[in-house]
Amino acid sequence: MNTDWIIQPPEILRRLFPNSLWRLDSHERREIAFTFDDGPVPEQTPWVLDILAKYGIKAAFFCVGDNVRKYPEIFERICAEGHIVGNHTFNHLQLLHSGWSDYRKNIDMCNDVENNRAHFFRAPHGQITPWRARQLTQSGQFQKIVFWDVMPKDYDRNLTPQQVFDNINRYARNGSIIVMHDSIKAGERMRYALEKTINEFGEKGFSFVPIA
């Protein structure tokens, strides 16, 4: 099965969500944004924060509320170090597996445990309809629904760390929002691809900036 559409969503899909964030508005600047889903967890997130601090990079962390509940000190470190925090539902709930009422409650639970500090929302697996995305933003709950320009699939245990980086190297471009995962499942694939991307794209003249 060809999964290129997951790694870099096609233009026709992006047009269904014209007010959502897929890429940075970088114009002539060579910029990439790192985002991290599914944390925080002690096995991965502190390492990510250390690497970002080493290179002076700010990123966005779309946190699962139950992980924030279990590891509040890591969440507070994310905030204290100046990174953006986003809502990724409380239980990594997929809209296709729940009703809208339960889904909204799950989002609200995540907001509560994050003390309403999340101004951005990313749906697990990107599962949201244009109508529901508009509801979340028009209600004032979130500034933007955030998708991605590059999903290198660091969660895929069938890929090697080098293959994950190769996905980034092939698809990343000016303005790309890259999704990685500070989760146990992503393991060494994420660690290898993150630092290699920072080094190799930095040498190409890219800056790493937060979403906005």
Q: What is the pLDDT of residues 81-90, one digit of tens each?
A: 999 999 999 9
b/e 51-89 (16+ beta carbons within 10 angstroms → b):
bbeeeebbbbbbbbbbbbeebeebbeebeeeebbbbbbb
Share the mean pLDDT of the chain: 95
Residue 1: pLDDT over 60: no
pTM: 0.96
> d(Cα 61, Cα 16) in Å, to the nearest integer?
24
pLDDT digits (tens, 9 = 90+) for 180-191: 999 999 999 999
Closest CA to 122 of 100, 140, 145, 152: 145
pLDDT for the residue 29: 78
